[in-house]
Structure 1
Amino acid sequence: MNQNKRLIIGEGKISGYISIFLAIVCFGSVICAYFPEYLTTADFRKLYTPKHIKWVLLGLLVLSFGFALTSFVLSKKTKLGFLAILIIGGTILIGNGLPEHQDIDYKSFTIGLDWLLLDILISAFIFIPIELFLPKRTNQTKFHPEWRTDLVYFIIGHLLIQVTGVLVQLPAVVAFSGIGLGGFHSWVQSIWFIPQLFLALFVSDLFQWTGHYFFHKLPFLWRFHAVHHSTKDIDWLAGSRTHFLDLIVVRAISFLPIYVFGFSTPVFTTYIVIVSIQAVLAHSNTRINFGFFKYIFVTPQYHHWHHSADPKAYDKNFAIHFPFIDMLFGTYYPMGDTWPESTGLGEAKFPKGFIPQFIFPFTKNPLQENEIEDPSER
């Protein structure tokens, strides 16, 4: 496929890819049902029940089959629909042997395949149509040159959700457990839901801003954060491209106030949902006009300027939720109605692929190897 050509509605390729995607999600879900003690996370099992999953899978299989037929009708030459039907057939075949109910043994470590399937299904359902019908960069194909690398980051980050969760919470638990925060937690949880939610978003964003700032300003840390900025094609999937060390450290810093304040369960759950959606939305390739809200909440335009290859926008717009935090610290970029012409690390060369990008910051200094501007000199 030509990397510079966008998918065109009516060719049969879009419906073909959708049918394959839905079929793979269903196949993965059936595999999870066979080995739930190893492939599902205990914390997420409460979000779904076998009965509900059964009907959801049936609906997805029907949709996948419908899109496969559409692909056949629109483009008789494409093999995408045929491949989807093969996956659907395999899913139905192995799914017939599933028991109606099974007890799940607890395992201290599991692979979060269920979380991966749930998140990619929901994210794709929301953001692929937005980028397909309302793209900002109309010449940017959904399958840009490095989409496979970004997908690997997305997959690994979700499969290792239990590992990252433990590592993120560890500093807060070690530093603040057992110091008698019960009374403070009770006071915080007595606050009305909306202001308590705003407080959770604010304090976490404030700490996240701090971690994010130092990853830009300290040359050694910038080695790792440069991985996230290396992508030249920003979209909802590209936001997952983050080095493991960068991911753990910044999230751990952001989690500190969440742990100390001890927000109520409804607030914490809502906070997780907002963080998950906004992190993906901020990177999405969409021209949706948020109007006045772009001065209140971080939008794609706001965060794309953070990724800008234009030196005048370097080290700006660090916030994840609230632009006023950048305004307070003098790191706000006055973007107006403009968008950056390009994103990434300019002409600097950066290794391609997940493994080379993981190793690179440990072995080489990208500031010297690729002549990327030293962040301390900005």
Structure 2
Amino acid sequence: MRTLVRYGYVPFMLLVVDGAAIALAAGGHPKLWLLGLLFVAVGASFAAERVLPYRDDWNVPHGDDRRDVAHAVVNETLTLAGLAVLPALTAVASIDGIWPGSLPFAVQVLIAVLVADLGITLVHLASHKVPALWRLHAVHHSVKRAYGFNGLMKHPLHQTLETAAGVAPLVLLGMPSAVASVLALCVAVQLLLQHSNVDYRVGPLRAVLALNQAHRFHHLKWAGAGDVNFGLFTLLWDHCLGTYSYDPERRFRSDDLGMAAKPHYPDGYLAQLAEPFRPSGACTTKNISN
């Protein structure tokens, strides 16, 4: 079972779960099926973390489980709300005849993933450089353990900014709502994989796909050390930007994560929503740390 998880977990999530979403959306099935697939992905993530954990202690709640569920519910609800208004936005803002609707549906989804990945990567990078953005993004970097739900733990305003950067170009291009729905599921699955406490292997693809082996370096708590591997779906843009980093010998523990400049960042959900707007939520370029 451990070997199956080590080499089969990522293919299951990317090929089976995401593939099923593409097939269902292409066939015109109700979008509620995609919500069911999200629950399958979350269940698979938690199961894999128990079968083959990267660290056993990261499976134990640190008083953060309810907070992380709250972040996940709120942020996924915002995603669903965005999908609901997307057709209206596309009707108003899109440029007719640009979207490559004649291509196979799976190719359209791949195009959406790559375009969104660039926009999200750039906002993510800016969030490590611009103090006003870091105030919001710091919520995500306050974690002291890496497990699946960490990926959905974001300040809702920061998630809105990242989503807007990734989706706005696609809206202008006239992305169909069916493609947008699959993209939303792919984002959720990717966040689960990227922060997963699973000791899986993907071979040379670890330098291409933005998965947990590379993303742990992004959560190093020291200023500058974590300013790497910003991609959501791929590391292609990191290679282009010179922000890719990986050391196969490096092992991580809780003491490596969080923010060295803010070791006592608030833990509660409501406190984390408010912290970016308090004086204590301020930071300078000298103490932005990951």
Which bin holds the TM-score, normalised by the shorter protein?
0.7 to 0.9
From 57, 76, 89, the equivalent of 1:158 is: 76
- Aligned-residue offset at 1:313: 2.5
For 1:120 and 1:264, how far apart are their aligned partners in 2? 20
- Residue of structure 2 equivalent to 1:46: 30
In the alignment, is residue 129 of structure 1 matched against residue 47 of structure 2?
Answer: yes
For 2:258 and 2:37, how far apart are their aligned partners in 1? 26
Counterpart amino acid of residue 49 in structure 2: E
Say whether the 8 Å CA contact 2:75–2:154 is kept in structure 1. Answer: no
For 2:206 and 2:240, how far apart are their aligned partners in 1? 16
- Residue of structure 1 equivalent to 2:19: none
- Aligned-residue offset at 1:219: 0.5
Residues matched between the structures, number: 260
- Aligned-residue offset at 1:144: 2.6
Counterpart amino acid of residue 283 in structure 1: H
For 1:196 and 1:136, how far apart are their aligned partners in 2? 34
For 2:228 and 2:63, how far apart are their aligned partners in 1? 27
Say whether the 8 Å CA contact 1:366–1:372 is kept in structure 2. Answer: no
Q: 1:196 to 1:237 in 2, by over 3 A?
A: same
In the alignment, is residue 282 of structure 1 matched against residue 194 of structure 2?
Answer: yes
In the alignment, is residue 359 of structure 1 matched against residue 271 of structure 2?
Answer: no
Say whether the 8 Å CA contact 2:142–2:259 is kept in structure 1. Answer: yes
The TM-score with structure 1 as length reference comes to: 0.61
- Aligned-residue offset at 1:307: 1.1
- Aligned-residue offset at 1:165: 4.5
For 2:110 and 2:42, how far apart are their aligned partners in 1? 27
- Residue of structure 2 equivalent to 1:189: 101
Unaligned runs of 5+ in 1: 1-44, 50-113
For 1:372 and 1:349, how far apart are their aligned partners in 2? 19
Task: Give the SS at the match of 2:110.
Answer: helix
Say whether the 8 Å CA contact 1:345–1:372 is kept in structure 2. Answer: no
For 1:184 and 1:155, how far apart are their aligned partners in 2? 34
- Aligned-residue offset at 1:211: 1.1
For 2:179 and 2:78, how far apart are their aligned partners in 1? 25
Counterpart amino acid of residue 138 in structure 2: A
For 1:208 and 1:220, how far apart are their aligned partners in 2? 17
Task: Give the SS at the match of 2:54.
Answer: coil
Larger Rg: 1
- Aligned-residue offset at 1:292: 1.3
- Residue of structure 2 equivalent to 1:143: 61
Q: 1:144 to 1:119 in 2, by over 3 A?
A: farther
Q: 1:180 to 1:363 in 2, by over 3 A?
A: closer
Identical pairs, percent: 24
Relative CO higher for 1 or 2, CA cutoff 8 Å, sep ≥ 6? 2
Note the aligned Cα RMSD (angstroms). 3.2
Task: Give the SS at the match of 2:59.
Answer: coil
- Aligned-residue offset at 1:314: 2.3
For 2:55 and 2:286, how far apart are their aligned partners in 1? 26
In the alignment, is residue 248 of structure 1 matched against residue 160 of structure 2?
Answer: yes
